[in-house]
Amino acid sequence: MCICGEAKIFDSCCGAIIEGKRKPKSAEELMRSRYSAYTLADGRYLVLSAVKENRYEDDAELIEEFSKSVEWLKLDVLQTTQDTVEFKAYYKDKESIKILHEKSNFVIEDGEWRYKDGELYNTKVQRNETCPCGSGKKYKKCCAN
């Protein structure tokens, strides 16, 4: 299974996109590859997959530092349109499990899908939902303790 949660081998899913062997065919494929790049701390890819106006080379190092400081747990894609993807990316830092909940906007630039920007939501893991760590237990009986 790919890091992004798709039932595909990483090398033929997000790996091929991150390595430049193929281009993402949709906004969702780009978003999934970007999540995988976060789990791999590949700041270079994350910078290059953004629109030109939002590419800041210095961000690659900051992204890598953050990505290495947390444990990425899972990705839930909530809703997609042609050019938007709403998702929740779960990660664990030194304190607790957190959620990056965003509705991302994508555009085609120079013939390729690129990340433009996104709207962040303040979302927390609910006590009665299944724990994102993969234990199968409710959050309140698992990592919330």
Domain membership flag for residue 97:
yes
Q: Could you tell me which residues come within 8 angstroms of residue 21 by beta carbon, excluding any fewer than 6 positions away?
A: none
Domain membership flag for residue 1:
no
Structural domain span for residue 52? 10-141
Domain count, the chain: 1
Domain membership flag for residue 91:
yes
Supply the pTM of this predicted model: 0.92
Q: What is the pLDDT of residues 17-58, one digit of tens each?
A: 999 999 999 999 999 999 999 999 999 999 999 999 999 888
Look up the CATH number of the domain holding residue 61.
Answer: 3.10.450.50
Domain membership flag for residue 49:
yes
Q: What is the pLDDT of residues 64-121, one digit of tens each?
A: 999 999 999 999 999 999 999 999 999 999 989 999 999 999 999 999 999 999 999 9
Q: Which of 76, 74, 93, 77 is nearest to 85 (CA)?
A: 77
Domain membership flag for residue 60:
yes
